[in-house]
């Protein structure tokens, strides 16, 4: 394995299982089975209506669980037994796509399989929209390519038009990387208004250019094994007009991340550009409706 792939077998500050590593023993090696295990560990805080399904409302704060070690510890508190044992919704961690992906990437890295998170927009949820989303890329050694895997989807998930989605091999038109979305909109090939967190969410920062820019810098961070919570921000994603210099930097970032076959150029960019690197303190929004918070994540 070359150095670039080896980089993605190393755990990050976020994916390190730490003292909970024993829970990763005896997990399946088969990618499909491992994906199913991880999909059954998280209940989505919005899409699966956890409170209506018996999860106490105070547990919604689990969405801010930043590190895999803490996720695994909470899962151990919620149910006894191995992670492979099926769990009811109330025995799952309350989270979102980022949490499912982070757990999946952690388990793969623990097995020595190169894996990384990617941030962009899924076109298989709402017709006509790319929905803010995070999935995994897993190195397929036999085919020598990065395979996109959505660990959150059901095996039989279909688009609204009835087209089936293979969660083990999501295509580039089904999941549009943030860099690709930025490039398409800059070239007037796509409408930025179609890239959103939720079509029904009337918050300017979660729609169009601000959201695409936010996802773009998040995707650069994940390529550098810095898998932040999706509502973390560090100077990008505000509803404002970008300067010419900022646009040029985001154009370059989009080109680098969209073509990140091995991540080397993404790592060079991340290290060389202070405004793109994640600072020690970030502003974390609150999707539950509370005020923004300053978080010292390291």
| pLDDT over 50 (residue 188) | yes
Asked if residue 115 lies in contact with residue 147, where contact means CB atoms within 8 angstroms, the answer is no
Strands 281-284 and 232-233: antiparallel
Asked if residue 230 lies in contact with residue 134, where contact means CB atoms within 8 angstroms, the answer is yes
> What whole-number distance in Å separates Cα of residue 282 and Cα of residue 279?
6
Asked if residue 43 lies in contact with residue 101, where contact means CB atoms within 8 angstroms, the answer is no
Would you state the pLDDT for residue 260? 73
Asked if residue 138 lies in contact with residue 97, where contact means CB atoms within 8 angstroms, the answer is no
The fraction of the chain above a pLDDT of 70, given in percent, is 99
The fraction of the chain above a pLDDT of 90, given in percent, is 92
> What whole-number distance in Å separates Cα of residue 196 and Cα of residue 205?
9
> What whole-number distance in Å separates Cα of residue 182 and Cα of residue 239?
16
163 against 94, higher pLDDT = 94
Q: How confident is the model at residue 1 (pLDDT cuts 50, 70, 90)?
A: very low
Token pair for 278? 């994640």
Q: How confident is the model at residue 2 (pLDDT cuts 50, 70, 90)?
A: low
Instruction: Please provide the size of the chain in residues.
Output: 298
> What whole-number distance in Å separates Cα of residue 266 and Cα of residue 234?
18
Query: In this predicted model, what pLDDT tens digit does every residue of 13-55 receive, in sequence order?
Result: 999 999 999 999 889 999 999 999 999 999 999 999 999 999 9
The dihedral sign for the CA sequence 263, 267, 268, 272? positive
Token pair for 62? 């689990």
| pLDDT over 70 (residue 237) | yes
| pLDDT over 80 (residue 155) | yes
Would you state the pLDDT for residue 263? 87
């Amino acid at each position: 394995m070359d150095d670039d792939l080896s980089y993605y077998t190393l755990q990050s500050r976020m994916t390190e299982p730490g003292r909970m590593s024993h829970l990763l023993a005896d997990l399946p090696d088969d990618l499909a089975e491992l994906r199913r295990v991880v999909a059954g560990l998280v209940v989505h805080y919005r899409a699966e209506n956890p409170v209506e399904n018996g999860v106490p409302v105070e547990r919604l704060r689990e969405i801010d669980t930043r590190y895999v070690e803490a996720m695994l510890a909470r899962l151990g508190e919620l149910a006894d037994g191995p992670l492979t044992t099926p769990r009811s919704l109330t025995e799952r961690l309350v989270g979102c796509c980022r949490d499912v992906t982070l757990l999946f990437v952690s388990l793969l890295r623990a097995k020595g399989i190169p894996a990384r998170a990617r941030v962009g927009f899924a076109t298989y949820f709402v017709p006509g929209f790319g929905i803010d989303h995070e999935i995994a890329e897993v190195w397929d050694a036999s085919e020598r390519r990065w395979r996109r895997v959505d660990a959150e989807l059901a095996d039989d998930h279909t688009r609204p038009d009835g087209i089936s989605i293979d969660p083990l091999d999501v295509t580039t038109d089904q999941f549009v990387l943030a860099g690709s979305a930025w490039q398409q909109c800059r070239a007037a090939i796509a409408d930025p208004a179609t890239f959103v967190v939720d079509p029904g969410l009337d918050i300017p920062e979660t729609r169009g250019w601000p959201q695409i820019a936010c996802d773009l810098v998040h995707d650069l961070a994940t390529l550098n094994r810095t898998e932040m919570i999706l509502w973390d921000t560090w100077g990008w994603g505000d509803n404002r007009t970008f300067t010419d210099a900022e646009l040029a930097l985001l154009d370059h970032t989009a080109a680098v991340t969209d073509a990140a076959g091995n991540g080397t150029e993404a790592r060079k960019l991340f290290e060389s550009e202070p405004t793109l690197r994640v600072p020690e303190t970030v502003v974390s929004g609150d999707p539950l409706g509370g005020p923004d918070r300053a978080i010292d994540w390291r």
